Amino acid sequence: MELIRLDHVVIVVRALDQAIADFQAMGFTTTPGGVHADGLTANALVPFADGTYLELIAFLAPDVPQAHRWYPRLAAGEGFVDAAIAVDNLSEAAEVWRQRGLRGTGPVEGGRQRLDGQELRWRTFFFDRDQGLPFAIEDVTARASRVPGDAAAVHANGAVGITALHVASPPAMAQAYRNLCDQPLASTRFNLGAQTIVLDGPPPTDVPALSALRWVPTMVVLRGSSSDWIHNPAASHGARFTWASEDL
């Protein structure tokens, strides 16, 4: 199976236009995405030079309860909700993961239409939520069409990529990460290409809706060239960021 790598981290927000404006005010370049094929959500991207990106996603009807995988996170408040890993052959990867004891649904066809009318297609594999794992994605159309580069990946705050993703996850779920990455359980850190997933312990019990999710991303560690970047928590819609020069 080909190397798996971190593709993107998902941030659910109530109002997409406001989130775009706030992330731009923090020095991020944002690119409008479009409406997903299910007609329930729309997104915008914050792509980085290392190929990873942040996805800002909003429900078109945020006040209408729905069965979408990410709606319970919005009901608990804005913030990180999920992450995606990329593979080149999802059917092959899914078979390997099942042989290792991981459970999930897929591959499932997905996509969205860009604002310029171009149709994007991909396939996803969603692990059962109780395993505490990101979902997997394989591009059907060119990834460059889904994830813009060049000027879209240049940010005024100096961010050039993601170094690590911290997640709140019960200790028992570390075995699932070992099966996913085929790495020894020597620590709570698992490599996904050039990025690292760090397991920080269980979700907060003081927020029942988050605790019910069993796992949730809690912090993104950014890599960049700026030494004076200032994170404004009020503008990041519940998402926590830090710089790679700080303690990971």
* Of the residues 127, 151, 175, the one at which a domain ends: 151
Report the pLDDT averaged over residues 215-227: 85
Which of 121, 151, 181 delimits the end of a domain?
151
Q: Is the pLDDT of residue 132 over 90?
A: no
Q: What mean pLDDT comes out for the span 80-84?
A: 95
Are residue 236 and residue 114 in the same domain, yes or no? Answer: no
pLDDT in tens, 106-116: 999 999 999 99
Specify whether 111 is located in the same domain as 214: no
CATH number for 144: 3.10.180.10
71 within a domain of the structure (yes/no): yes
Tell me what pLDDT residue 183 has. 75
Instruction: Check whether residue 136 and residue 173 sit in a common domain.
Output: no
Q: Of 151, 173, 202, which residue is a domain's last?
A: 151
Same domain, 144 and 180: no
d(CA 53, CA 160): 10
Statement to judge: residues 130 and 162 lie in one domain: no
Residue 30 shares a structural domain with residue 120: yes
Does 143 lie in the same domain as 217?
no
Residue 20 sits in the same domain as residue 127: yes
Within a domain: residue 248?
Answer: no
Percent of the chain with pLDDT over 70: 88
212: confidence class by pLDDT, cuts 50, 70, 90: low
56 and 98 belong to one structural domain: yes
| Residue 84 counted as domain residue | yes
Enclosing H/E stretch for 121: strand 119-127
Question: Rounded mean pLDDT of the chain?
Answer: 88
Residues 143, 163 within the same domain: no
What is the rounded distance in angstroms from the CA atom of residue 206 to the CA atom of residue 217? Answer: 16
Exposed e or buried b per residue across 93-129, where buried means at least 16 C-beta atoms within 10 angstroms of its C-beta: bbebbeeeebebebbeebbbebeeeeebebbbbbbee
Question: Do 179 and 102 share a structural domain?
Answer: no
Domain membership flag for residue 163: yes
Instruction: Kindly state whether residues 89 and 206 are assigned to the same domain.
Output: no
Q: Evaluate whether residue 44 is within a structural domain.
A: yes
Residue span of the structural domain in which 239 resides: 158-243
Total structural domains in the chain? 2
The answer to whether the bond into 107 is cis (omega within 30° of 0) is yes
